[in-house]
Amino acid sequence: MEERRNAERLKDCNEITVSVVSGRGNTSKEQNLYNYSEDISVSGAKICANILLPVDTLLKIDFTLNAMHKRITALGKVKWSKRILEDKMCEAGVEFIDTPSELIKKIYDYISWKQKCISLYPENM
């Protein structure tokens, strides 16, 4: 399978709140989904949700970067999604869009810091 990612991803579980900005199908704009991300990069993240998010759905994602206690908000677009557990858990690949440079820097700094911690203390990560 060909790798299509633009940036290296850090496998890191963080709490997120997802709000649908616009979408199609039965996805409600008022719906807030409280779940988690499985990985993150400066260009996007893989998120877990309890509903299937259709491709091209626009999302507002509030991340809590656990290790640094930083809260960031990003706008993203669903690029792919799939069911993991029938009617219970879904995954989606989300590409960040219209991302301010200061937010990209925060994510980059977090990933760099976390990778440094992993290389120095792999048994604690």
- What is the per-residue pLDDT for 71? 85
Sign of the Cα torsion 30, 101, 4, 89 reads negative
CATH code of the domain made up of 10-124: 2.40.10.220
Tens of pLDDT, residue by residue over 15-71, are 898 988 886 655 555 566 778 899 999 999 999 988 888 999 999 999 888 776 778
Can you give the residue ranges of every domain in the chain?
Answer: 10-124
- What is the per-residue pLDDT for 87? 67
75 neighbors 21 (Cβ within 8 angstroms): yes
Greatest alpha-carbon pair distance for the chain in Å reads 46
Count other C-beta atoms under 10 Å from residue 8's C-beta.
11
Task: Name the burial class of residue 116, with classes exposed (0-12), middle (13-18) and buried (19+) by CB atoms within 10 angstroms of its CB.
Answer: exposed
Q: What pTM did the predictor assign? A: 0.81
Average pLDDT over residues 3-24: 78
Tens of pLDDT, residue by residue over 65-99, are 877 677 889 999 999 999 887 767 899 999 999 99
